[in-house]
Amino acid sequence: MHFSAIERVPGDPILGLIEAYAKDPSPVKFDLGVGVYKDAMGLTPIPQSVKQAEQRLLERQTSKSYVGGHGDAAFGRLVSELVLGADSSVLQHQRAGATQTPGGTGALRLCADFIKQCLPGRGIWLSDPTWPIHETIFATAGLKVSHYPYVGADNRLNVAAMLEVLEQVPEGDIVLLHACCHNPTGFDLSHEDWRQVLRIVQRRHLLPLIDFAYQGFGDGLEQDAWAVRLFAAELPELLITSSCSKNFGLYRERTGALLVCAQDAQKLQDVRSQLAFIARNLWSTPPDHGAAIVAQILGDPALKQLWVDEVEGMRLRIAQLRSGLLEALEPYGLRERFAHIGVQRGMFSYTGLSPEQVKQLRDQHSVYMVGTGRANVAGIDATRLDALARAIAAVC
């Protein structure tokens, strides 16, 4: 038989939780697994701005023919402005361009193949820990994957250790950084930390790849782009992967972009020709629907304002859930121990719970989170904070 030597691999640890949670008959279960936002009803809503944009598309779209290799030009321009700022000098000098991809994951995969094919011999450095798919996507593309420390066993951000290792990274290697809302830990760098990283990148001629999957979920749409814009302003070359999954609620529409900043407009076109070639061999042309929605929203001032307000609403709700959980933990004497939940940003919290405690939470209290102790704060039901705190207290 042709397939007889093929062995089964374990299922994805994050996506597997969706299935396990759905199967649990408990009426009081908590879904803190996969990184999706949930509203007060426990639903992952379609934003009103998205609904309205879809309605317009339904009425006005005249063709479902292919978009080009880089996707829809309007989407690319508008996403570039969202990420780099409407007044970005990099954009004014035509030094940056976006390639539409199937989600942020598609952007990462395109980037991985680009590095492998166009920058041979370069390794990539990931934070320890990082999103597990970062590990596999670059390894699968054939890159040497190494790590810099980020959060230690004490569940604290260790910037000194991070900088020390970055100082040793071989010249020319790629360093993947999380723009905001670090996945899985929720610990973000301060502005001063970013400046220190930038100085090392410049001194050692490293190439940063900034993964920007949660714009708007940390401190705000503009604030979250601070480090990306600093790097774009100070460096001649930069790679950025941008996702519309979370902030537009377009998870299943697979909408994202790979942005490249190059030294000048000519070199940008050289790089983009390679990206189009690689993308053609990966997915030919990107899916359109989500990107068409995003272009409708960002291209219309009224619709954009509605969306900005909706993103801010999601951000504030997550921030409230963080403080609400800390208050709920107080009567159990656990507020201090989990104080980091209030410092972390975005959807995720590295809780510091051990794999054994995570298992107990799941088996005995129907609380689902990733085995590493990562909880999706955005999945918490605000009306049952005490039940969650009681479950956590029971395993601590």
Catalytic residue among 125, 173, 246, 288: 246
31, 32, 35, 315: which one binds ligand LMR (CB under 6 A) = 35
β-pair type (124-128, 145-149): parallel
Locate the DSSP E strands across 335-378: 348-350, 367-368, 374-376
User: Judged by CB under 6 A, does residue 378 bind ligand LMR?
Assistant: no
Residues in the chain: 396
The residues that bridge with 146 in the sheet, in sequence order, are 125
> CB of 39: closest distance to ligand LMR in angstroms?
17
Name the residue among 321, 314, 192, 324 with its Cα closest to residue 246.
314
User: Judged by CB under 6 A, does residue 257 bind ligand LMR?
Assistant: no
> CB of 134: closest distance to ligand LMR in angstroms?
10
Nearer to ligand LMR, 15 or 119 (CB): 15
The amino acid present at 129, given as its one-letter code, is: P
> CB of 179: closest distance to ligand LMR in angstroms?
14
Site size for ligand LMR (CB under 6 A): 5
Active site residue 211: yes
Name the residue among 111, 166, 181 with its Cα closest to residue 143.
111
14, 50, 176, 244: which one binds ligand LMR (CB under 6 A) = 14
Contact between 209 and 221 under an 8 Å Cβ cutoff? The reply is no
Nearer to ligand LMR, 34 or 107 (CB): 34
How far apart are the C-alpha atoms of 343 and 323, rounded to whole Å? 10
Name residues whose C-beta falls within 8 Å of residue 57's C-beta, 6 or more positions apart in sequence: 289, 292, 293, 296
21, 30, 34, 50: which one binds ligand LMR (CB under 6 A) = 34
Nearer to ligand LMR, 15 or 40 (CB): 15
How far apart are the C-alpha atoms of 129 and 186, rounded to whole Å? 11
> CB of 271: closest distance to ligand LMR in angstroms?
26
- Report residue 285 as tokens: 């042309």
Catalytic residue among 211, 224, 288, 381: 211
Catalytic residue among 31, 72, 113, 131: 131
How far apart are the C-alpha atoms of 149 and 144, rounded to whole Å? 17
Locate the DSSP E strands across 87-221: 96-101, 124-128, 145-149, 174-178, 207-212
88, 183, 296, 349: which one binds ligand LMR (CB under 6 A) = 183
Q: Which residue has the tokens 């410049």?
A: 202
> CB of 34: closest distance to ligand LMR in angstroms?
4
Q: Which residue has the tokens 């990306």?
A: 228
Active site residue 363: no
> CB of 95: closest distance to ligand LMR in angstroms?
29
User: Judged by CB under 6 A, does residue 368 bind ligand LMR?
Assistant: no
Nearer to ligand LMR, 35 or 85 (CB): 35
Active site residue 309: no
21, 37, 75, 131: which one binds ligand LMR (CB under 6 A) = 131
Phi, psi of 377 (to 5 degrees): -60, -35
Residue nearest to ligand LMR (CB): 35
- Chain CA centroid to CA 354, Å: 24
Binding site for ligand LMR (CB under 6 A): 14, 34-35, 131, 183
The residues assigned a catalytic role are 131, 211, 246
